[in-house]
Amino acid sequence: MKLVLDTNVYCDYAEGIPAVVDAMARFGESIFIPSVVLGELTCGFMKGKRQQFNERKLQHIIQRLGIDIIDVNTNVARKYGLIYLSLERRGMRIPVNDVWIAASCMEVGGTLLTRDRHFSRLEQVDVMIV
């Protein structure tokens, strides 16, 4: 299964949370991180006192697990539009960055691994809540 990591799931994995580590080991035939997640992580690292440590740890995890980065491109932007309009037509909203994360997941045909239940409102993306 192609797993796409949400920001909170990366953080849980980095902290060694057993449910996330197990889910990634069990289902992660290939693992992806959207560039939007990297932006959220970088912002969090910059706010903290261990920026360099956290950045090195992120790079180590990406390399060790062979994680592929999903860049925002024209295809992802079109999927963003589809997801956003679908939510809007149903009178639903989720955070804008999460729409980008979902669009990135849709681009690679992956399953989004997250703790955020609002992703289950999306019709276009498979979601696994941990």
Which residues make beta-bridge pairs with 34?
70
Residue 33, SS3?
A: strand
Residue-level pLDDT, tens digit, the chain, 130 residues: 999 999 999 999 999 999 999 999 999 999 999 999 999 999 999 999 999 999 999 999 999 999 999 999 999 999 999 999 999 999 999 999 999 999 999 999 999 999 999 999 999 999 999 9
Hey, what are 105's tokens? 């997941």
Question: Residue 27's pLDDT is what?
Answer: 96
Percent of the chain scoring above 90 in pLDDT: 100
* CA–CA distance, 98 with 119 (Å, rounded to integer): 8
Among residues 126, 58, 70, the alpha carbon closest in space to that of 101 is found at: 70
Widest pairwise Cα distance in the chain: 43
Mean pLDDT of the chain: 97
Number of domains in the chain: 1
Residue 23, domain CATH:
3.40.50.1010
| Full residue range of the structural domain in which residue 100 is found | 2-129
Report whether 70 contacts 76 (CB < 8 A).
yes
| DSSP structural state of residue 49 | S
Question: Residue 81's pLDDT is what?
Answer: 98
Contacts of 109 (CB under 8 A, 6+ apart): 2
* CA–CA distance, 114 with 125 (Å, rounded to integer): 12
Report whether 71 contacts 107 (CB < 8 A).
no
